[in-house]
Amino acid sequence: MGSKKARRVWAGAGAAVVVAVVAATGANGTAQAGTPAGARWSTTSTQKPAPGVQVRTMTLQNAAAAPSWTVTVQAAATSRLTGAATWAEVGAKPWADTTARRLTASGFRPRVAAVRWPDYSDTPHGVMGLRVRVGSYATQAAAQRAAGSIAATGFHTTVTWTGYDADEPAAGETVHVAVIDPRAFTGRVQATHDGRVAQRETTSSVAGKLRSLVAVNGGFFVTADSEGVQGTQSGLGAYGGRLESLSAGARAALVLQDGGRHDRVADVTTTVTARSGRATYPVQGVNRVPGTVQDCGRPGASPSDLPWQDVTCHESDDLVLLTPEFGAAPPTGAGTQVVIDAAGRVVSVGVRGGSVPAHGAVLQGIGAAGDWLTAHARPGHPLAITKDIRDTTGRRIALGPHDSIVSAAPTLVKGGRISIDAATEGVVDPADLSFGYTWANVRQPRTMAGIDARGRLLLVTVDGRQKGGSAGFTLAEGAAFMRSLGAVQALNLDGGGSTAMAVNGRLVNLPSDATGERAVGDTVQVLPSPHH
């Protein structure tokens, strides 16, 4: 048994909620000084699937919290990235003042509140903007009726549950914390797409097949045909030592090396190059549709070569590598395709389509990249592919057969301190308050991973979007919680409806999708030793 020392955590973007959470090595199940009146963390269950693996379920109940339904009046905005008209939850003071006067003149009683920036490392501090709301309602139906009346007078409205606000105390939280100690655990930890990159499968289903001890969902992935091929990663993905998807800029990644014996969190970039003789060309994608870049973040992408969460960018000049693990037919369309055998020699040059050879690869080029392939790929001659993975310090990450990587965003903890680079990793935009506000600054289900000072891997899920139940975390709350567990490094993985944890193949959390557990692109699996 480890220490039972508890740490205090700011669990809100401001000073709205202070909770005591249990250190990853133990639990005391009691509220500590600084916890709001009526709030209490408790441990509801502890499982030890194997030596060196512990899973603890913790809940927060706060009887003093009083969330309700309300109507939020939204501010007209313009997307800085696309130029499209949109709406924002908060706006500037002149808009808020004018909106409040108009609402009052129409017979409503608006309330205007300042919304402050969370403590991100790369955004402004102080007031983000002003929020305008009307009423407090016991039911969603009542709030919807009020929203209809307000909208009829010329306002754009949305119905909001205040329990998801960062500046209000959470009424409840349900958190699952898995701690894997490499010094005591004899199995391995790996990221996996379960054999095919272009495949979606639930976390618990993969866990059942692999007979894993603990499993959580992994990185961001394509969820719609308009974004590419569903199931493919929209950021860096490496499995069994094979690079299967390129990074979106320099985003946070969980690097699992030597089967989880040496894990770390780092911002990671990828560079892939095709070479024919002395001629080279940059490969901007692995296992995706040429010209379509979900989450952006690749050189030459439009409208941005920086990472942007849930935004689809495009490239007119694009070279993409398809590996046998792609698991789907190569995309068709204009451009040039080159088939390469296991020895790295060109088999054929022609139109896009067909299949990826089991022991080879396919290169697809559009625009200038297609022209380069036509000019330099010759049947029977070598065409080499070099791959380079580095963290932002320049340190190269060499992949062996027992190494894997999952990537998401943003970094939460760095060097033992909360350090959320939300703007740099493209999940918020200080110049566009319509972008990322709900994704980052509102309570949501989250999956997070971290490493503590003893080298233990922390895999954490928090349920969310449960009115009257678990609210979820904002990014800032997630970072604070991970730090409270002793994390010296941590990142945010995919969340929302993707958030899932399975223990011994059984789902233990409550997913937020109405249809149940979501099929995801990849997962992190804690696998037993062969003798377990």
CB neighbour list of residue 15: distance below 8 Å, 6 or more residues apart: none
Q: How confident is the model at residue 195 (pLDDT cuts 50, 70, 90)?
A: confident
**Is the pLDDT assigned to residue 177 strictly greater than 50?**
yes
pLDDT digits (tens, 9 = 90+) for 443-494: 999 999 999 999 999 999 999 999 889 999 999 999 999 999 999 999 999 9
pLDDT for 98 equals: 98
For 259, which DSSP code? Answer: G
Alpha-carbon distance of 370 to 337, in angstroms, equals 8
pLDDT digits (tens, 9 = 90+) for 358-372: 999 999 999 999 999
Are the C-beta atoms of residues 164 and 12 closer than 8 Å to each other? no
Cα torsion 204, 205, 209, 210: sign: negative
For 72, which DSSP code? Answer: E
Alpha-carbon distance of 341 to 123, in angstroms, equals 48
Average pLDDT for residues 201-215, to the nearest whole number? 97
pLDDT digits (tens, 9 = 90+) for 117-148: 999 999 999 999 999 999 999 999 999 999 99
pLDDT digits (tens, 9 = 90+) for 261-297: 999 999 999 999 999 999 999 999 999 999 999 999 9
The fraction of the chain above a pLDDT of 90, given in percent, is 90
At residue 304, what is the residue type? S
CB atoms under 10 Å from CB of 83, counted, come to: 8
CB atoms under 10 Å from CB of 280, counted, come to: 14
Picking from 461, 412, 464, the residue whose alpha carbon sits closest to that of residue 438 is: 464
Alpha-carbon distance of 74 to 154, in angstroms, equals 11
**Is the pLDDT assigned to residue 39 strictly greater than 70?**
yes
Q: Report how far apart the first and last C-alpha atoms of the chain are (Å, whole number).
A: 21
Alpha-carbon distance of 106 to 166, in angstroms, equals 29
Cis amide linkage into residue 303, ω under 30° from 0: yes
Picking from 470, 498, 464, 485, the residue whose alpha carbon sits closest to that of residue 418 is: 485
Q: How confident is the model at residue 532 (pLDDT cuts 50, 70, 90)?
A: low
Average pLDDT for residues 383-391, to the nearest whole number? 97
Structure tokens given for 194:
């379960």
Four-CA torsion 377, 249, 438, 117, nearest 10 degrees: -160
Q: How confident is the model at residue 530 (pLDDT cuts 50, 70, 90)?
A: confident
Provide the mean pLDDT of the chain. 92
Alpha-carbon distance of 397 to 313, in angstroms, equals 27
Helix (H, G, I), strand (E, B) or coil at 324: helix
Pairing of strands 501-503, 457-462: unpaired
pLDDT digits (tens, 9 = 90+) for 56-83: 999 999 989 999 999 999 999 999 998 9
pLDDT for 36 equals: 56
Q: How confident is the model at residue 26 (pLDDT cuts 50, 70, 90)?
A: very low
For 517, which DSSP code? Answer: S
pLDDT for 16 equals: 33
Question: What are the beta bridge partners of residue 275?
Answer: 280, 384
Alpha-carbon distance of 344 to 342, in angstroms, equals 5
3-state percent breakdown (helix, strand, coil) of the chain, nearest 5: 15, 40, 45
Tokens 């809940």 sit at which residue?
A: 59
Average pLDDT for residues 166-187, to the nearest whole number? 96
Alpha-carbon distance of 70 to 207, in angstroms, equals 40
Cα torsion 512, 515, 519, 524: sign: positive
pLDDT for 20 equals: 36
Q: How confident is the model at residue 2 (pLDDT cuts 50, 70, 90)?
A: very low
Picking from 437, 481, 446, 445, the residue whose alpha carbon sits closest to that of residue 466 is: 445
